[in-house]
Protein backbone atom coordinates (compact mmCIF):
# COMPACT_ATOMS: atom_id res chain seq x y z
CA UNK A 1 0.00 0.00 0.00
CA UNK A 2 1.25 3.47 -0.84
CA UNK A 3 1.31 5.74 2.20
CA UNK A 4 0.91 9.42 1.76
CA UNK A 5 0.27 12.30 4.11
CA UNK A 6 -3.49 11.67 4.12
CA UNK A 7 -3.56 7.99 5.10
CA UNK A 8 -1.25 8.16 8.09
CA UNK A 9 -3.22 10.79 10.06
CA UNK A 10 -6.50 9.03 9.27
CA UNK A 11 -5.16 5.71 10.52
CA UNK A 12 -3.88 7.38 13.71
CA UNK A 13 -7.19 9.16 14.16
CA UNK A 14 -9.07 5.89 13.78
CA UNK A 15 -6.84 4.18 16.35
CA UNK A 16 -7.27 7.15 18.69
CA UNK A 17 -11.05 6.92 18.28
CA UNK A 18 -11.03 3.21 19.16
CA UNK A 19 -8.84 3.92 22.19
CA UNK A 20 -11.15 6.76 23.20
CA UNK A 21 -14.19 4.53 22.81
CA UNK A 22 -12.69 1.90 25.12
CA UNK A 23 -11.78 4.63 27.59
CA UNK A 24 -15.35 6.02 27.54
CA UNK A 25 -16.83 2.55 28.02
CA UNK A 26 -14.70 2.04 31.14
CA UNK A 27 -15.63 5.48 32.43
CA UNK A 28 -19.33 4.94 31.76
CA UNK A 29 -19.27 1.59 33.59
CA UNK A 30 -17.75 3.44 36.54
CA UNK A 31 -20.49 6.07 36.27
CA UNK A 32 -23.17 3.37 36.48
CA UNK A 33 -21.61 2.17 39.72
CA UNK A 34 -21.39 5.74 41.06
CA UNK A 35 -25.02 6.45 40.24
CA UNK A 36 -26.00 3.22 41.94
CA UNK A 37 -24.06 4.26 45.04
CA UNK A 38 -25.52 7.77 45.07
CA UNK A 39 -29.06 6.56 44.51
CA UNK A 40 -28.84 3.89 47.20
CA UNK A 41 -28.28 6.71 49.67
CA UNK A 42 -31.36 8.62 48.46
CA UNK A 43 -33.91 6.02 47.36
CA UNK A 44 -36.41 4.43 49.73
CA UNK A 45 -35.67 0.89 50.87
CA UNK A 46 -36.87 -1.77 48.46
CA UNK A 47 -36.42 0.48 45.43
CA UNK A 48 -32.66 0.10 45.15
CA UNK A 49 -32.58 -3.24 43.34
CA UNK A 50 -30.20 -2.41 40.44
CA UNK A 51 -31.78 1.05 40.21
CA UNK A 52 -28.34 2.52 39.57
CA UNK A 53 -27.94 0.48 36.40
CA UNK A 54 -31.51 1.22 35.31
CA UNK A 55 -31.13 4.95 35.95
CA UNK A 56 -27.77 4.99 34.21
CA UNK A 57 -29.32 3.39 31.13
CA UNK A 58 -32.23 5.83 31.17
CA UNK A 59 -29.89 8.78 31.70
CA UNK A 60 -27.43 7.89 28.95
CA UNK A 61 -30.34 7.36 26.56
CA UNK A 62 -31.78 10.70 27.67
CA UNK A 63 -28.51 12.50 27.05
CA UNK A 64 -28.08 11.00 23.59
CA UNK A 65 -31.70 11.72 22.63
CA UNK A 66 -31.93 15.09 24.42
CA UNK A 67 -34.67 13.79 26.70
CA UNK A 68 -35.36 15.74 29.87
CA UNK A 69 -35.39 14.67 33.49
CA UNK A 70 -39.20 14.84 33.44
CA UNK A 71 -39.30 11.95 30.95
CA UNK A 72 -37.03 9.87 33.17
CA UNK A 73 -39.19 10.83 36.13
CA UNK A 74 -42.17 9.27 34.35
CA UNK A 75 -40.18 6.06 33.78
CA UNK A 76 -39.29 5.92 37.47
CA UNK A 77 -42.90 6.59 38.48
CA UNK A 78 -44.05 3.76 36.21
CA UNK A 79 -42.35 1.32 38.58
CA UNK A 80 -45.06 2.24 41.11
CA UNK A 81 -42.62 2.00 43.99
CA UNK A 82 -41.74 5.66 44.59
CA UNK A 83 -43.47 8.94 45.29
CA UNK A 84 -43.55 11.79 42.78
CA UNK A 85 -41.05 13.78 44.86
CA UNK A 86 -38.60 10.86 45.01
CA UNK A 87 -38.96 10.15 41.29
CA UNK A 88 -38.31 13.81 40.50
CA UNK A 89 -35.22 13.93 42.71
CA UNK A 90 -33.84 10.64 41.32
CA UNK A 91 -34.41 11.77 37.72
CA UNK A 92 -32.81 15.20 38.18
CA UNK A 93 -29.86 13.82 40.11
CA UNK A 94 -29.37 10.95 37.66
CA UNK A 95 -29.35 13.18 34.58
CA UNK A 96 -27.01 15.67 36.20
CA UNK A 97 -24.63 13.00 37.53
CA UNK A 98 -24.50 11.26 34.16
CA UNK A 99 -23.85 14.52 32.31
CA UNK A 100 -21.05 15.44 34.73
CA UNK A 101 -19.46 11.99 34.45
CA UNK A 102 -19.51 12.06 30.65
CA UNK A 103 -18.04 15.57 30.66
CA UNK A 104 -15.34 14.40 33.09
CA UNK A 105 -14.45 11.35 30.98
CA UNK A 106 -14.19 13.41 27.81
CA UNK A 107 -12.21 16.18 29.48
CA UNK A 108 -9.76 13.85 31.22
CA UNK A 109 -9.22 11.95 27.99
CA UNK A 110 -7.84 15.08 26.36
CA UNK A 111 -5.76 16.05 29.38
CA UNK A 112 -8.02 18.45 31.27
CA UNK A 113 -6.75 19.01 34.83
CA UNK A 114 -10.14 20.14 36.12
CA UNK A 115 -13.03 22.52 35.65
CA UNK A 116 -14.63 25.77 36.71
CA UNK A 117 -17.68 25.20 38.92
CA UNK A 118 -20.77 26.85 37.41
CA UNK A 119 -24.18 27.34 38.99
CA UNK A 120 -27.52 28.31 37.49
CA UNK A 121 -27.05 31.72 39.21
CA UNK A 122 -30.56 31.99 40.57
CA UNK A 123 -32.18 32.15 43.98
CA UNK A 124 -32.51 28.38 44.29
CA UNK A 125 -28.73 27.76 44.31
CA UNK A 126 -27.58 26.35 47.67
CA UNK A 127 -25.31 28.66 49.68
CA UNK A 128 -22.48 26.09 49.61
CA UNK A 129 -22.74 25.86 45.80
CA UNK A 130 -22.99 29.65 45.40
CA UNK A 131 -19.60 29.92 47.12
CA UNK A 132 -18.16 27.47 44.56
CA UNK A 133 -19.30 29.50 41.52
CA UNK A 134 -16.27 30.31 39.36
CA UNK A 135 -13.80 28.25 41.38
CA UNK A 136 -11.35 25.80 39.84
CA UNK A 137 -11.77 22.16 40.92
CA UNK A 138 -9.38 19.34 40.00
CA UNK A 139 -11.05 16.24 38.56
CA UNK A 140 -9.27 14.04 41.09
CA UNK A 141 -10.17 16.22 44.11
CA UNK A 142 -13.92 16.80 44.35
CA UNK A 143 -14.91 19.23 47.11
CA UNK A 144 -16.81 18.31 50.24
CA UNK A 145 -19.93 20.43 50.60
CA UNK A 146 -22.75 19.87 53.05
CA UNK A 147 -20.94 16.73 54.35
CA UNK A 148 -20.89 15.12 50.90
CA UNK A 149 -17.88 14.81 48.59
CA UNK A 150 -18.70 15.08 44.88
CA UNK A 151 -18.26 17.14 41.74
CA UNK A 152 -20.78 19.75 40.68
CA UNK A 153 -23.89 18.13 39.29
CA UNK A 154 -23.44 15.03 41.47
CA UNK A 155 -25.31 16.32 44.52
CA UNK A 156 -29.01 15.55 45.00
CA UNK A 157 -31.09 17.95 42.86
CA UNK A 158 -27.93 19.86 41.89
CA UNK A 159 -28.21 22.03 38.77
CA UNK A 160 -24.54 23.06 38.75
CA UNK A 161 -22.28 21.97 35.91
CA UNK A 162 -18.54 21.72 35.20
CA UNK A 163 -16.91 24.00 32.65
CA UNK A 164 -13.79 21.95 31.73
CA UNK A 165 -10.40 23.57 31.41
CA UNK A 166 -9.15 22.35 28.05
CA UNK A 167 -5.38 22.29 27.46
CA UNK A 168 -4.19 23.80 24.21
CA UNK A 169 -2.10 21.73 21.85
CA UNK A 170 1.13 22.95 23.44
CA UNK A 171 0.24 21.58 26.85
CA UNK A 172 -0.68 24.82 28.58
CA UNK A 173 -4.10 25.74 29.96
pLDDT cut 90: percent of the chain above it? 28
pLDDT (tens digit per residue) in 65-98: 666 677 777 777 777 677 888 888 887 887 788 7
Q: What is the pLDDT of residue 12?
A: 46
pLDDT (tens digit per residue) in 127-151: 999 999 999 999 999 999 999 899 9
Q: Are 47 and 90 in contact (CB under 8 A)?
A: no
Mean pLDDT, the chain, integer: 75
Q: Which of 43, 62, 41 is nearest to 149 (CA)?
A: 41
DSSP one-letter code for 81? S
Of 38-52, 97-111, 121-135, minimum mean pLDDT range = 38-52
**pLDDT over threshold 60, residue 7:** no
149 Cβ contact list (under 8 Å, min separation 6): 142, 143
Q: What is the pLDDT of residue 73?
A: 78
DSSP one-letter code for 135? -
Predicted TM-score (pTM) of the model is 0.67
**pLDDT over threshold 60, residue 158:** yes
Amino acid sequence: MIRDATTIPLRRSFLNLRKAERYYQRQLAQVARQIGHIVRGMAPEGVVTNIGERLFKLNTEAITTSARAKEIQQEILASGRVSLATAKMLARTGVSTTATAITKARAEHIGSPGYIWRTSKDGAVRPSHRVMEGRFVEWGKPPTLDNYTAHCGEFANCRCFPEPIIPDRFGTH
